[in-house]
């Protein structure tokens, strides 16, 4: 099974591509526009891509002193201190919404002239099934340092 996300236009280019392998035969693919938001703590960035239909990716990237190109390990969703990334994926499969957090993997990040790019590889468990996922992102504008939001963890 293959599902494609919403199309982009010149104002909303598709900047994130995800492939979720659910079970042995189902593969869900979606492409979405993406944005970043800096958190008020000065050491966290959110990468967000969400469609009105419900598919999406959320990455909370926590770094030491400054955001640098490199590999960030996947950490548990409640871990707000360790440098690393929390990755959440939501998708539709046969009209059912499914979601999970990565429990293994890494986020590769490249800084390129005020933009971020890279890939995310990992997996999580969704309804008892190991769900390997690949996410590629490119040319996502990095929000200015002065543009911050609250990123407090809420279970």
Q: What are the sequence ranges of the domains in the chain?
A: 16-142
Label residue 119 by pLDDT band (50, 70, 90). very high
Q: Which residues neighbour 5 within 8 Å (Cβ) at sequence distance 6 or greater?
A: 14, 29, 30, 31, 32, 51, 53, 55
How many residues are listed for the chain in this entry? 155
Of 2, 23, 18, the C-alpha closest to 128 is 23
Label residue 145 by pLDDT band (50, 70, 90). confident
Q: In this model, does residue 115 exceed pLDDT 50? A: yes
Average pLDDT in the chain:
86
Mean pLDDT, range 59-79, rounded to an integer:
92
The pLDDT, as a whole number, for residue 109 is: 97
Mean pLDDT, range 31-41, rounded to an integer:
93
Counts of helices then strands in the chain (DSSP H, E): 0, 12
CB environment 117-153: b (16+ within 10 A), e (fewer) = bbebbbbbebeeeebebbbbbbebebbeeeeeeebee
Label residue 96 by pLDDT band (50, 70, 90). confident
Model confidence, pTM: 0.86
Report phi then psi at 61, rounded to 5: -105, 115
Mean pLDDT, range 89-101, rounded to an integer:
88
Mean pLDDT, range 59-63, rounded to an integer:
94
Q: In this model, does residue 65 exceed pLDDT 60? A: yes
């Amino acid at each position: 099974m293959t599902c494609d996300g919403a199309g982009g236009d010149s104002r909303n280019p598709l900047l994130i591509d995800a492939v979720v392998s659910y079970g042995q035969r189902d593969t869900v693919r979606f492409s979405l526009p993406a944005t970043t938001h800096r958190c008020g703590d000065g050491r966290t960035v959110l990468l967000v891509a969400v469609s009105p239909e419900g598919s999406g990716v959320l990455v909370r990237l926590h770094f030491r002193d400054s955001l640098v190109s490199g590999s960030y390990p996947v950490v548990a969703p409640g871990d707000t201190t360790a440098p690393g990334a929390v990755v959440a994926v939501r998708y539709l499969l046969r009209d059912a919404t499914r979601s999970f957090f990565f429990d293994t993997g890494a986020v590769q990040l490249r800084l390129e002239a005020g933009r971020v790019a890279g890939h995310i590889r990992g997996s999580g468990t969704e309804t008892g099934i190991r769900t390997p996922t690949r996410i590629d992102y490119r040319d996502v504008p990095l929000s200015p340092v002065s543009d911050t939001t609250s990123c407090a963890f809420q279970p």
